[in-house]
Structure 1
C-alpha cells in the first residue's frame, strides 16, 4: 500500500475528527452524528494501517486519535471497583513478574555487598574504630539496636517506617528518568548500612539478636525495595534497548505500568511497617516472629508468581487499559 497516497486521501477526515474531539463539549446534534461516523471510519483506517504498513508514526497518530475519539463518543470509564481488582490481579503482579530477573539481580547484589561489608566490619577492629568510639559502639550494640524497635509507640513508629521505606522505593522508581543509573547507588547505600549493623552485632556475638529483629519485617521490606529498583532499572533500560518496537511506545507502556508498581508497593510497605512495629518488638519467641516474617514473604512471592504468570500468559503488560499507543481496533 502506498502510505503517502493513503495519508493524502484520508487526512481531511482525520483532521476533522481531531477538531470535533477538541470541541466535544460544545457539539451540535449533527456534529455528534458526524463524530460517531468519523470515529468508525478512522478506526477502520487504523486497522488497515496496522495490517498493511509498518509505519510507526502513522499508526501512533491514528491510535491516539481513535482513543480520544472513543472517549468522546462513549464517555465511559471502568468502574472504580473493576480498576481496583485489575490493579491487584493483573497490573501490579504482572509487572513484578516480568521484572523478576532484574529483581533477582538486585537482591543478589544487595546480599553480596551486605555480607562482604559485614564480614569486613566483624573481622577488623580498625574498621570498627572508624565507625565510632568504643562507648558509642557498645551503646549501639547493647542498647540502641534493640530499643529502636520499641522506644516509640507502635502507631507512630509504623508510620515513620512506612514513610521512610516508601521514600527509598520512590527514589528507585523516580530515578528511572535518569536511565536508572543512580539506582545501584541507592541499593549500595542500604546494603552498606545493613552490612555495618550486621558486622557490629555479629562481631559482638549478637548475631542471633540481629537476625531475630531484622528478619520478621526485613524480608518483605527489602523485597519491596528490590522490586522498586528492578522496575526503575528496567524502565531505564527500555530507553537504551527497546527491542523491535519504537522506543517511545515501549517507554510509554512500561512507564505507565511502573505506576501500578508504585501503587502496589505502598500497600506492601505498609504491611512491612506494621510487622516491624507490632511483631518485631513483641514478646513473642524469636522463632514465632521469624515465622510471621517468612510467611508474609512466601505469601507475597506466591501471589506475584500466581497472578503475574497468569496475566503474562494472557498477554498483559501491566499497562493501563485502552492505552493511546496500543489501543485495539476492529
Structure 2
C-alpha cells in the first residue's frame, strides 16, 4: 500500500473527526451521527495503518484521535468500583495464572539454589569463617536475627518492608525491557541471602528459630517475588517468540497486562508486610504464627487459581485496554 496516497486520501476525514471531537458539546443531531460514522471509519483506517505501515508517528496520531473519538462516542464510563472489582477478579489473577509455569519454575529454582547454598554453608566451618567471625555468627544467631523483627515500631517497620519489597517486585518486572535477562540473577542474589542466614542458623542448631521467623511472612512475600520474576521473564520471552501475531501487538498487549501484576503485587506485599511487622515478632506460639503465614499463602494461591482459571476460560488476557480500537480490515 502507498502510505502517502492513503494519508492524502483520508486526511480530510481525520481532520473532520478531530473537529467534531473538539466541538462535541455543541453538536447537532446530524453531526453526532456523523461523529459516530467517522469514528468507525477512522478505526478501520487505524487497523489498516497498523498492519501496513511502520510509521510510528502516523499510528500514534490515529490512535490518539480514535481514543478521543471513542471517549466522545461512548460518553460515560463504568463506575470506578466496577473497574476495581474487575481488576481484582480478572486483570490481576488472569495474568498471574497465565504465567503459572514460569511462576512454578522460578519458585523451584529458588528453593533448590537456597537449599544447596544453605547446606554448603552449614556443613563447612571454613565457609562460615569467610562470612563472619565466630563471635559475629553467635551474635547473629542468638540475638540479631530475632531482634531484627522487633527492634522498630511495628507500623513503621511494616511501611519500610512494604516499600522495599514493592520496589523490588516492580524493578524485577521492569527488567522485562531487557528480555528479562537480569531476573535470574536477582532471584539468585535473594536466594543466596536467605541461604546464608539459614546455613549459619543451622550450624548452631537454630534452624527451628529461622523457620519460625521466616515462614509467617516469607511464604507470601517470596511467592510475590517469584510471580514478579515469572511475568517479567514471560514478557521478555514474548519479544523472542511472539507466536503467530505481530511482535509489536503481542508485546503491547502483554506489557499492559503485566502492569496489572505490578499493581496487584503492591497489595499482596502490603499484606505480607503487615504479617512481618505484627505477626512474626508477636508472642504467639510458633505453630500459630506459621499457621497464619500458611493460611495467607493458601488463600492467595486459591484466589489466583479460581479467578485466573475462570478468566482464562473467558479468553481474558488481563490487558488494561480491554477494547482496543481495531476494526477488521483486509
Structure 2-normalised TM-score?
0.88
For the 8 Å contact 1:238–1:250, the answer to whether it is kept is yes
Cα deviation, 1:172-206, whole Å, max 9, x if unaligned, reads 11111111111111111000000101111111101
Q: In structure 2, do the counterparts of structure 1 residues 218 and 93 end up closer, same or farther at CA, with 3 Å as the change threshold? A: same
What is the correspondence of 1:1-330 to structure 2 with a 5 Å cutoff?
12-13=9-10, 15-17=12-14, 20-21=17-18, 24-26=21-23, 29=26, 33-34=30-31, 36-37=33-34, 39-40=36-37, 43=40, 56-57=51-52, 66-324=66-324
C-alpha deviation, 1:76, in angstroms: 3.2
Q: 1:244-267, CA deviations, whole angstroms, 9 ceiling, x for partnerless residues?
A: 111111111111111111111111
Q: Deviations over 1:63-85 (max 9, x none)?
A: 77544421233343322111111
Q: Considering only aligned residues, what root-mean-square deviation do their CA atoms show, in Å?
A: 3.0
Cα distance in 2 between the residues matched to 1:164 and 1:128:
28
Which whole-Å CA distance do the structure 1 matches of 2:21 and 2:104 have between them?
A: 48
Question: Is contact 1:177-1:236 (8 Å) kept?
Answer: yes
Cα distance, 1:64–1:244 mapped onto 2, change above 3 Å: farther
After superposition, the Cα gap between the structure-2 partners of 1:11 and 1:66, relative to the gap in structure 1 and judged at 3 Å, is farther
Q: Structure 1 residues 126 and 32 mapped into 2: Cα distance closer, same or farther (>3 Å)?
A: farther
Contact kept in structure 2, 1:217 and 1:293, CA below 8 Å: yes
Deviations along 1:11-32, one digit per CA (max 9) or x if unpaired, are 7446523553377334695699
The alignment's TM-score, normalised by the length of structure 1, stands at: 0.88
DSSP 3-state at the match of 1:320: coil
CA distance in 1 between counterparts of 2:226 and 2:328 reads 33
Q: Provide the rounded CA distance (Å) in 2 between the counterparts of 1:31 and 1:43.
A: 19
Per-residue deviation at 1:315?
1.0
For 2:12 and 2:248, how far apart are their aligned partners in 1?
A: 23
Corresponding residue pairs, total? 324
Q: Tell me by how many angstroms 1:322 deviates.
A: 4.0
CA distance in 2 between partners of 1:296 and 1:303 (Å)? 11
- Stretches of structure 2 that go unaligned for 5 or more consecutive residues are none
